[in-house]
Structure 1
């Protein structure tokens, strides 16, 4: 499991990207192809995926996203640091397990992206109605999550939390390194 563990550790939420590096549409399509093959509750497969890579569409999505709730004085990535592409996970069928399917598909997408050298950030904080409008989604298709993707433009490090620590907030140091606290194994085992 060592190789998979390393992949999971490398698969962080990146909020700043090397926008100039781009991300080919074919890679985004490949990520969707992998996600569509994952498990789905009762095999209902209610999810649909909207790939966003054209510059105008990326800009139309970006303005409706909210970035990094724990970083109160940061408004999100500036031009040059913005995602090179997005995959919008949508619900087209509903059902009791849609949220589970969404999580499975999203984690699969970001792990596959990390394995190909890309970074990602799963975003639930966005104006769903405006994103749907910007992308011309049908009324029966509801955006659930936006996954921002691109070549990472920041360093992200994991750190074990001290026993009894109250805050799980991530933070940036004076060199703009993004620190992510994680509960230690002995803190999560019951």
Structure 2
């Protein structure tokens, strides 16, 4: 059921790094994005699949992991993602990707959950540095990076009380406050 996939689709930031994610699996996830709607049907998004440790090691230091967890610099060795999908805008097709990146990312992440994986959509990226490090041609612009792997942490949804900021308890369980449905719907 779709709601079950959405409930399982959390922003996981710690992974079973030794459990590989294959190029074929990443390709299947990108195929879900390919089949998703695209504004004006322009389809300007392209993807780099990273599933080899040496490439993952180049990507990892260019990512910001959890803005609200001020003392946490990201997952330690052994808890880093087994794979990444770098989402690019091909500016030779269109300089405006509208909301395609959000649609594509959600399709990929729901597909990952269906395969027993999890991930995190990372927008805090040192884009120019990483573009140079990976020698990505200039017509491609990094939009976001999807970290993919087998989750190594528990993420739970909580009712929003005073703050919408996520947090970790003493046992490392990640808590994500959500507004109530009544708070979201405005009756006219």
Distance 1:161 1:182, change over 3 A: same
What count of residue pairs does the alignment treat as equivalent?
184
1:64 shift after superposition: 0.4
TM-score by length of 2: 0.95
Shift of 1:135: 2.1
Aligned to 1:186: 182
Distance in structure 2 (CA, Å) of the matches to 1:135 and 1:43: 28
Q: Distance in 2 between matches of 1:24 and 1:134?
A: 23
> Is 1:159 aligned to 2:155, yes or no?
no
SS of 1:5's partner is helix
Unaligned runs of at least 5 residues, structure 1: none
* Runs of 4+ more than 2 Å apart: 93-96
Distance 2:20 2:78 in 1: 10
1:170 equivalent in alignment to 2:166: yes
Q: Show structure 2 runs of 5+ residues with no match.
A: none
Q: Which residue matches 2:73?
A: 75
Please give the per-residue CA displacement for 1:83-121, whole angstroms capped at 9, x wherever unaligned. Answer: 00000000003344x140010000100010011100100
Are 2:88 and 1:86 aligned?
A: no
1:32 to 30, 33, 37: 30
- Given that 2:39 and 2:98 are in contact with CA atoms closer than 8 Å, whether structure 1 keeps it comes out as no
For residues 117 and 158 of structure 2, the distance between their equivalents in structure 1, rounded to whole angstroms, comes to 22
- Asked if 2 retains the 8 angstrom alpha-carbon contact of 1:20 and 1:80, the reply is yes
